[in-house]
Amino acid sequence: MMALTMGFYTICSYSLVKLYSYSVDDHNYPFKRFSYVFCFSFLATITAHEAGLSFTLISLPMALGVTYPLLYLSFQKILPNWKKVDYFQKMFAIIIILNSIHFLDYPFLRKNPDFASIGFGLAFVFMFVFTIFLPAFVSKFLEKQNVHILEEKVKLRTTELNILKNEKAQLVNILCHDLANPLMIIDMHISNNLKKEESCEKVLKTNKRTKFAIGQIKSMLNQVRQMASVEDGKSNVELSPTNPELILQACRELFTERGDAKGLSLTFCNEIITDSYFLSNHVILVNEILSNFLSNAIKFTRTGGSIALSLEECHKEEKIRIRISDSGLGMNENKIKAILEKNKRTELGTSGEKGTGLGLSVALFYIDKIEGKLDITSRPIETNPNNSGTDITISIDRIINSSAKAS
């Protein structure tokens, strides 16, 4: 009977400590030590019983073992922080202290029938008060937990919005900076055309430059408008089976002439031997992602250098990898980190080609939208004069669908 009673008291003791620890969000309690004390007290009780000692001496070790967690809680956690806890926690603390006193009176009151009735009366009062108080405490605890969860969600959402705000602000800064140059060209050429001494041939030449500058402005505005539309949910990036060979063919047609004009060797290789397709978007993959990386490869590779675009399968990861390798100037770790941070500006190319950070921002943006993964490794020319270059790998989901109408 005593073992059952003490077992019940032990469960109550541990439950009270657990509840209080959750209520104050403090989980630094020595529960392992509590278990050791309880086991020692249990053995001491058995030993006392076998030795034929009195009821008080038999039950006292168990009472101390049961009460120890509550006494630790009272004197180590509650009383030193009394002014810091709220009204509900103070009420709960009082109940814990009273229960610890009640557990300790068991060895002394239970052996005498008259005193036992007092002990049972105290237990009834404590349980009655605890039964009334517990629902309110649990309700308060759950409310606090819900508030904490909501605060974490708000904090996370605020962080996401701040990141998005900063990215858009940087994108606007890049756009404003990059629009200034073609607008200056337009202004200068129009001013020159207004001068009567300009020849018709020179006017025609400046008009062509003006048209090219206007085309640059339109392209940048369209890119930003499309990105904003996708980001705001007004349009979606639809993924569908995409034929790798068509991707390779499109890049070959777009960049072979540009490479030849700079004296570069461009190779395009399809190493896919199965009926595998990208799960991607043909237009975005070619025009917004690969075009930007291939343009940069051409830009930063010196005359006589080489650029290779290859496609390969990774059966283990169910991916198709697009690799762009060049023998260009290469980059150090800091420049690679700058590229992976959206909205960073680029430098002049090996032949003085101008560029913007907008293209890289667009590429990174759409790699995320097609659920791709980007990896960049590079060998800067400063430390690898005979083997400089950059390898860019884009991994995209692979599907087997030979009968699909791939784009």
pLDDT digits (tens, 9 = 90+) for 46-104: 888 888 888 788 888 888 888 888 888 777 777 777 777 777 677 777 777 777 777 77
Please report the pLDDT score of residue 264 as a whole number: 93
What is the chain's length? Answer: 407
Query: What's the gap between Cα 285 and its chain centre?
Result: 25
Q: Higher confidence at residue 266 or residue 353?
A: 266
Can you tell me the distance from the alpha carbon of 141 to that of 151, in angstroms, rounded to the nearest whole number? 15
pLDDT band for position 364 (50/70/90)? Answer: confident
Can you tell me the distance from the alpha carbon of 289 to that of 335, in angstroms, rounded to the nearest whole number? 19
Please report the pLDDT score of residue 347 as a whole number: 53
pLDDT band for position 326 (50/70/90)? Answer: very high
Can you tell me the distance from the alpha carbon of 74 to that of 258, in angstroms, rounded to the nearest whole number? 79
Q: What single letter denotes the amino acid at residue 234? A: K
Phi, psi of 8 (to 5 degrees): -65, -45
Q: What single letter denotes the amino acid at residue 255? A: F
Mean pLDDT, rounded, for 103-115: 67
> 47-51, 64-68, 125-129, 183-187: lowest mean pLDDT where?
125-129
Please report the pLDDT score of residue 305 as a whole number: 93
pLDDT in tens, 202-253: 666 667 767 766 766 776 677 677 767 766 666 677 788 888 899 998 888 8
Can you tell me the distance from the alpha carbon of 111 to that of 57, in angstroms, rounded to the nearest whole number? 11
Q: Which of 234-248, 322-336, 391-405 has the highest mean pLDDT?
A: 322-336
Across the chain, mean pLDDT equals: 76
Contact 374, 394 (CB under 8 A): yes
Q: Higher confidence at residue 183 or residue 243?
A: 243
Please report the pLDDT score of residue 348 as a whole number: 45
pLDDT band for position 161 (50/70/90)? Answer: confident
pLDDT band for position 385 (50/70/90)? Answer: confident
Contact 64, 42 (CB under 8 A): no
Q: Which tokens sit at 36?
A: 């050791």
> 11-15, 163-167, 199-203, 400-404: lowest mean pLDDT where?
400-404
Q: Which tokens sit at 215?
A: 């085309």
> 22-26, 82-86, 317-321, 334-338: lowest mean pLDDT where?
22-26
pLDDT band for position 265 (50/70/90)? Answer: very high
Can you tell me the distance from the alpha carbon of 184 to that of 199, in angstroms, rounded to the nearest whole number? 21
Please report the pLDDT score of residue 386 as a whole number: 87
CATH of domain 240-400: 3.30.565.10
Please report the pLDDT score of residue 46 as a whole number: 85
Can you tell me the distance from the alpha carbon of 118 to that of 126, in angstroms, rounded to the nearest whole number? 12
Instruction: Determine whether 70 is exposed, middle or buried from the number of CB atoms within 10 Å of its CB (0-12, 13-18, 19+).
Output: buried
Beta-carbon-side half-sphere exposure of residue 158 (alpha carbons within 13 Å): 6
Please report the pLDDT score of residue 124 as a whole number: 57
Residue that has been written with the tokens 């030979």 in this structure: 402
Q: Higher confidence at residue 255 or residue 128?
A: 255
Q: Which residues contact 314 (CB under 8 A, 6 or more apart)?
A: 320, 321, 395, 398
| DSSP bridge partners of 395 | 321, 373
Instruction: Taking the CA atoms of 390, 396, 401 and 407 in sequence, report the sign of the dihedral they define.
Output: negative
Q: Which tokens sit at 230?
A: 């996708």
For residue 379, give the nearest of 342, 324, 336 by alpha carbon.
336
pLDDT band for position 180 (50/70/90)? Answer: low
Contact 185, 210 (CB under 8 A): yes
- 306-314 and 265-270 beta bridge pairing: parallel
For residue 308, give the nearest of 278, 351, 271 by alpha carbon.
271
> 171-180, 231-240, 275-284: lowest mean pLDDT where?
171-180
Q: What is the CA radius of gyration of the chain?
A: 38
Can you tell me the distance from the alpha carbon of 95 to that of 84, in angstroms, rounded to the nearest whole number? 18
∠ CA 368-358-277, rounded to 5°: 35
Please report the pLDDT score of residue 356 as a whole number: 46
For residue 305, give the nearest of 329, 269, 324, 331 by alpha carbon.
329
Instruction: Determine whether 313 is exposed, middle or buried from the number of CB atoms within 10 Å of its CB (0-12, 13-18, 19+).
Output: middle
Is pLDDT of 402 > 80?
no
Predicted structure pTM score: 0.50
Can you tell me the distance from the alpha carbon of 170 to that of 309, in angstroms, rounded to the nearest whole number? 31
The fraction of the chain above a pLDDT of 70, given in percent, is: 65
